[in-house]
Amino acid sequence: MKVTSLPIFALPFVLFPGERIPFRIYEPRYRAMMRDCLDSSGERGAREFGVLFATEENNAEVGCTVQVERVLRRHPDGSLDILTRGLRRFFIQEFISGWAYPTAIVGPYEDISFPDGRLANMAASLHTKLIELATEKIEVPLFQPLDYVSFLLGHNAGLKDFERQELLEMRSEHERLEFLIAFYRRAIPGAIRNRELKHRVRLNGHLRVIKPSML
């Protein structure tokens, strides 16, 4: 990715590269964004947009570009359900005005070290154990990873949103895998009793009806 302008969708969750997430678009300015991002058929994405984690206090500076894989449903009120796929990380340089929806100048956000693969098997084994405890079954991930095991595992690890953002901003696969291993070792002993964790693990990958953040 080169430095470029990008439509920005500020949302209260974090999306990873390679992750597929369905959600509903209902606010007029974001419906306008979708019209600009869909192809001439109106059913598939032609232009990427950025998903940026936002809270009431502030917006993250690192997000993930996404593309609409397909429109799942159009509702009578004009809202639509879409399936998106995360592509690559970006960082915000500055927001720009003059658009009907939030738009920013962004640059690429890439790792500064190469993955070594030594921790991947350990992290995957602990991840499988946690999913078994939390859901009493093995779930096939809803997406295929682009480059890194850490984002594949992080998809439904039960991380809180601030932990997902922390993982997204790490610029080393080794560091991300160590982060996940430490998380699994804390989470596994209490996974059966922890209903909140079980809820987060099951929620990841399901349709979200979300109120966008005000930018």
Q: Is 214 helix (H, G, I), strand (E, B) or coil?
A: coil
How does pLDDT run across 9-22, given as a tens digit for each residue?
999 999 999 999 99
- Residue 162 vs residues 20, 34, 73, 189: alpha-carbon distances, Å: 19, 27, 30, 22
Q: Rounded CA gap, 125 and 128, in Å? A: 5
Q: Rounded CA gap, 109 and 35, in Å? A: 27
Q: pTM (2 decimals)? A: 0.83
Check residue 143 and give its pLDDT. 46
3.40.50.300, 3.40.190.10, 1.10.10.10, 2.30.130.40: which CATH number matches 4-108? 2.30.130.40
How does pLDDT run across 70-90, given as a tens digit for each residue?
999 999 999 999 999 999 999
Q: Above pLDDT 70, what percent of the chain?
A: 81
- Helices 120-135 and 173-187 meet at what angle, rounded to 10? 30
Check residue 192 and give its pLDDT. 66
Check whether 94 has a pLDDT greater than 90: yes
Q: Rounded CA gap, 209 and 87, in Å? A: 21
Q: Is 93 helix (H, G, I), strand (E, B) or coil?
A: strand
Instruction: At 27, list the tokens.
Output: 């606010």
Domain with CATH 2.30.130.40 in the chain: 4-108
Q: Is 84 helix (H, G, I), strand (E, B) or coil?
A: strand
DSSP letter at 54 equals B
Check residue 63 and give its pLDDT. 97
Check whether 146 has a pLDDT greater than 60: no
